[in-house]
Amino acid sequence: MRVGVVLPSFRYRPDEAMATAHLAEASAIDGVFCFDHLWPMGQPERPALAPFPLLGAVAGSTERISVGTLVARVGLVPDDILISEFAALRVVAPGRVIAGLGTGDRKSSAENDAYGVPAGSPEERRAALARCAVALSGLGLPVWVGAGARATNELALELGAALNLWGASAGVVAEHARLGEVTWAGPPVTGGDAAAITAVLRPIADAGASWAVLASPTPIAALGEAARALRDPSG
């Protein structure tokens, strides 16, 4: 199982996110990811760095780690723009881009409302996600679909995309992994050492997830050690 971290992008400046990415590049961590929100969930007074400029800067200053969205929400920009953003990132980091896509939900609808961006019906959003996923797969990018409604989860399977489960138990991961590729993401593991992080991620790996991504501020050095431990066949 590969291991990643979500960059701290709810900031006014990119310094901390860039430093985190460079530490990840120097460790055993496999990838860095960005949320795609106009503000931290439920906190409209706080800032948020846009994912594609930040990931572009990371991609241009690293050589090894994967870069991706967790997840880019369809409908915030036209489909063709979203596809072009991933295509441009692919030019900077060939072979290292992961296209995480999501339909959004009630929790994120306030962002659309604040900027006058129609969210569309769930069916319209799933249709947009399918269009983008097919186009991005055609560019050779691995596609992850943020899990949500049953119809969205079934669409991921139909598209041959990985289903990204947020905070799911190992049992739920195993259930979906029997049907297709599953990736997992979850909240930070703070104040813990590598053993504590490994204890969280080992059941997810054993359940069949191909990736596990922890949010910041998970300690990068400890996460790198955990990544090595998870790959150690004797562990």
Mean pLDDT of 42-67: 97
User: For the residues of 138-197, what is the DSSP string, one character each?
Assistant: HTT--EEEE--SHHHHHHHHHHTPEEEEES--HHHHHHHHTTS-EEEEE----S--HHHH
List 73's β-bridge partners, or say none. Answer: 102
What band does 234 get if pLDDT is binned at 50, 70 and 90?
A: low
Least confident of 67-71, 109-113, 153-157: 109-113
Q: Is the pLDDT of residue 233 over 80?
A: no
**What's the predicted TM-score (pTM) here?**
0.96
Contacts of 117 (CB under 8 A, 6+ apart): 75, 76, 111
What burial class does residue 175 get, using C-beta atoms within 10 Å of its C-beta: 0-12 exposed, 13-18 middle, 19+ buried?
A: middle
Tokens of 59: 């991609």
The sign of the CA dihedral 159, 178, 5, 67 is: negative
Mean pLDDT of 174-189: 97
- 179 contacts 157 by C-beta, under 8 angstroms: yes
Closest Cα partner for 213 from 50, 2, 27? 2
Residue 164's pLDDT is: 98
Q: Is the pLDDT of residue 230 over 70?
A: yes
Tokens of 35: 């949320």
Ordered by where they begin, the domains of the chain are: 2-161+187-194+214-231 (3.20.20.30)
List 31's β-bridge partners, or say none. Answer: 4, 66
What band does 82 get if pLDDT is binned at 50, 70 and 90?
A: very high
Distance from the Cα of residue 115 to its chain's centroid = 24
Residue 139's pLDDT is: 98
User: For the residues of 49-72, what is the DSSP string, one character each?
Assistant: --HHHHHHHHHHT-SSSEEEES-E
